[in-house]
Amino acid sequence: MLVQPVLGLVGDPDIRAVAHTVIRDAPVDRRSFVSFDHPPFGAGGVGQPVQAPRLVTADAWWTHSRLACVAGLNQLAELAPRADATRFRELAGALLAETSRRCQHPDGHWQRSPDDQRVDAALLLPPLRGALSAQDPRTIATLEAVRRDLVDDGYVYRYAVPGRPLGEAEGAFLLCGFMLALADLQQANMVEAYRWFERNRAACGPAGLLAEEYDVEQRQLRGNLPQAFVHALLLETSVRLTKPH
């Protein structure tokens, strides 16, 4: 397993301890990524379960999972001895290059997979975790595509369902709303970052809890309640917004 810290805080003692265990007990090399088709954790990305090993088809070559691996390798490189750090960075670069070759949309943004050209709001997360820089054209293009295609009334859908308007197939993902706040914060778009944060924070119920999804039309929470991932990113976003910039 690769380490991709929830808060991106590589200096945290617990995160460092886990990272050193990974470096010591589970050395990573190219053999761990046979044809880059077998990620070391779940293929589905945000909110999806880890799946048992299976034959991976082209439509399962999820961009988010590969970029999560890139982010984990880059984080490990910050903690590893020099020889291991060089190896991790080289593997991260090779995986990023292959993912770009397969999964970069002609318009410049990341698409869900080689055979699925839709933008996915989960793809806002990898730059926040160190897979690539905030200034990378793919980062900026993906942020613009999410704003253009997946936002309704201040709430963010993970992806559009073909042939159906946003909100008909499922609710907006509150987790993705906080991702968008962090993505705009990373770009120094402070007003937009606060706007996304406050809009999604306000979706909580009377008990102050947030669910997985929000029905924008009916103004009701949907899905798992409470959703731990959403609350974790709520806390991270609030902390980051209050830091001097």
Predicted local confidence at residue 43, as pLDDT: 43
In a shared domain, residues 166 and 71? no
Q: In the chain, how many domains are there?
A: 2
Predicted local confidence at residue 223, as pLDDT: 80
pTM of the model: 0.78
Predicted local confidence at residue 206, as pLDDT: 83
Residues 6+ apart with CB under 8 A from 8: 75, 128, 129, 130
Residues 6+ apart with CB under 8 A from 239: none
Predicted local confidence at residue 165, as pLDDT: 84
- One-letter amino acid at 197 equals F
Phi/psi at 214 (nearest 5 deg)?
-135, 130
In a shared domain, residues 123 and 216? no
Q: Which domain holds residue 7?
A: 1-148
Predicted local confidence at residue 78, as pLDDT: 87
Predicted local confidence at residue 81, as pLDDT: 82
In a shared domain, residues 232 and 173? yes
Phi/psi at 150 (nearest 5 deg)?
-125, 10
Taking the chain (245 residues) in runs of 10, the rounded mean pLDDT of each run is 41 58 52 46 43 42 92 88 86 93 95 93 95 96 96 92 83 95 96 95 88 88 86 95 82
SS3 content of the chain, % helix, strand, coil (to 5): 50, 5, 45
In a shared domain, residues 5 and 39? yes
Residues 6+ apart with CB under 8 A from 23: 76, 79, 80, 81, 84
Query: Rg of the Cα trace of the chain?
Result: 18
Predicted local confidence at residue 18, as pLDDT: 55
In a shared domain, residues 154 and 143? no
Predicted local confidence at residue 80, as pLDDT: 79
Cα torsion at 196, 193, 151, 203 (round to 10°)? -10
Predicted local confidence at residue 24, as pLDDT: 56
Return the DSSP state at 57. Answer: P
In a shared domain, residues 118 and 172? no
Predicted local confidence at residue 207, as pLDDT: 84
Predicted local confidence at residue 82, as pLDDT: 83
Predicted local confidence at residue 25, as pLDDT: 52
